[in-house]
């Protein structure tokens, strides 16, 4: 088979299975609304949970950072790309989340891959929740360690895998809030099982940090645990991008020696670090925004129950509505778009086959009237289905 035939076949397969993906050129996105093709939509597909991507103080901080440091870092942190803006942000994150050290990464994907590839060797063992994020699972599959996936949010299933005798180190991996199902991991139970087996626990809290716990300290704080490895990302509640790993000093020193993403990638622009430092300050005092977000979640769930919509059991800002068929899910997304709502269809391989869904995400600045109108529109779609 030549390259042209291979590419054509693979692309045709995507189209035939209603799995074709394409980027949409968004002209403007102010968190709660967006403009596409000259039309404005109420946006229910953003992870900007607190609406901080357009916060005036954070924008000003980035502009200040640009004036002070320029647009880029110039190299990796091991050459000349680590300066006081990075150091101050790392210390701020460590103090806020109660860890001795934080290390900055250019993205959450890079952080998860870096942690797993640097730590895990041939005789080691990774046990990950079956629904963990692609960045965790891909890193585990590409590492020389053995990967096993335990039943979603089932500590007893984890215990079963950990009871098997094996040599080497063991790492347990999970998300704090699962990005596609919106439910929360039983973190205290998972940590207890991991510690009993002398395993380390890695928690990716991308969707919990900033919105859960006192001062937005996240899922681990809420569950009163401190995993050996905590990854927090800045592309959700922070309204920016990037990530950090929280750990102890010895572990941080190890990653500075062995984490290839830190050694060989250009570091985060220092101006971005200045903006992130301001985002942390805003998050810590964002009690009203978190209350607004919780109000919106509660209202959404109340209406979903009233209309008997097929939602998963999620108490987070992520509210998945299961449709099943890829084609039907695309039709529902398009139906909502015609009514002025932007809700993206999520299909395999991002989610398991047969579980295509709308991933509805709520934000602190959504208006109750917009949520009510969205739910009425969804109800109209499913009622039409029933009539047919």
- Catalytic residue numbers? 47, 133, 175, 179, 204, 207, 236
How close are the terminal C-alpha atoms of the chain, in Å?
A: 45
- Locate 62 and state its tokens: 């980035």
Which neighbouring-strand residues pair with 146?
A: 125
Q: Give the integer Cα–Cα distance in Å for 348 and 364.
A: 29
DSSP line for 317-332: SEEEEEEE-HHHHHHH
Which neighbouring-strand residues pair with 34?
A: 29, 41
What's the order of all strands across the beta sheet hosting 39-43? Answer: 26-29, 33-36, 39-43, 341-342
Q: Give the integer Cα–Cα distance in Å for 37 and 166.
A: 56
Helices (H), 70-163: 84-97, 108-119, 134-142, 155-162
Pairing of strands 33-36, 146-150: unpaired
Under 8 Å between Cβ of 203 and 220? yes
- Locate 318 and state its tokens: 């992520």
Q: Measuring CA to CA, how many Å separate 297 from each of 286, 294, 318, 368?
A: 17, 5, 9, 10
Can you state the percent helix, strand and coil of the chain, rounding each to 5?
45, 20, 35
Tell me which residue of 12, 8, 7, 39 sits closest to 26, measured CA to CA. Answer: 39
DSSP H or E segment with residue 230: strand 229-233
Pairing of strands 39-43, 33-36: antiparallel
């Amino acid at each position: 088979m030549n390259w042209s035939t291979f590419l054509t076949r693979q692309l045709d397969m995507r189209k035939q299975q209603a799995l074709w993906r394409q980027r949409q050129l968004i002209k403007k996105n102010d968190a709660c609304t967006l403009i596409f093709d000259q039309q404005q939509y109420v946006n229910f597909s953003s992870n900007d949970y607190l609406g901080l991507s357009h916060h005036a103080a954070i924008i000003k901080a980035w502009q200040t950072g640009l004036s002070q440091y320029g647009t880029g870092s110039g190299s990796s942190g091991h050459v000349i790309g680590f300066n006081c803006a990075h150091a101050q942000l790392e210390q701020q994150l460590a103090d806020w989340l109660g860890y001795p050290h934080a290390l900055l990464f250019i993205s959450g994907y890079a952080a998860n891959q870096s942690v797993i590839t640097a730590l895990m060797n041939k005789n080691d063992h990774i046990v990950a929740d079956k629904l963990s994020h692609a960045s965790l699972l891909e890193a585990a599959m590409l590492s020389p360690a053995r990967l096993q996936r335990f039943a979603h949010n089932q500590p007893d299933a984890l215990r079963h895998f950990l009871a098997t005798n094996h040599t080497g180190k063991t790492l347990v991996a999970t998300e704090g809030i699962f990005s596609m199902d919106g439910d929360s991991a039983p973190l205290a139970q998972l940590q207890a099982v991991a510690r009993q087996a002398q395993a380390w626990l890695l928690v990716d809290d991308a969707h919990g940090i900033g919105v859960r716990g006192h001062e937005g300290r996240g899922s681990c704080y809420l569950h009163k645990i401190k995993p050996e490895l905590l990854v927090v990302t800045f592309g959700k509640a922070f309204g920016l991008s990037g990530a950090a790993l929280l750990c102890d000093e010895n572990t941080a020193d190890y990653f500075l020696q062995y984490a290839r993403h830190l050694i060989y990638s250009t570091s985060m622009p220092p101006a971005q670090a200045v903006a992130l430092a301001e985002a942390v300050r805003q998050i810590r005092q964002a009690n009203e925004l978190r209350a607004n977000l919780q109000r919106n979640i509660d209202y959404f769930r109340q209406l979903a129950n009233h209309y008997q919509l097929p939602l998963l059991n999620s108490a987070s800002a992520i509210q998945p509505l299961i449709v099943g068929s890829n084609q039907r899910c695309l039709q529902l997304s398009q139906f909502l778009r015609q009514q002025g709502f932007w809700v993206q269809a999520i299909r395999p391989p991002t989610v398991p086959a047969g579980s295509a869904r709308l991933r509805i995400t709520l934000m602190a600045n959504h208006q109750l009237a917009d949520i009510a109108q969205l739910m009425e529109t969804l109800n109209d779609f499913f009622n039409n289905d029933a009539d047919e």
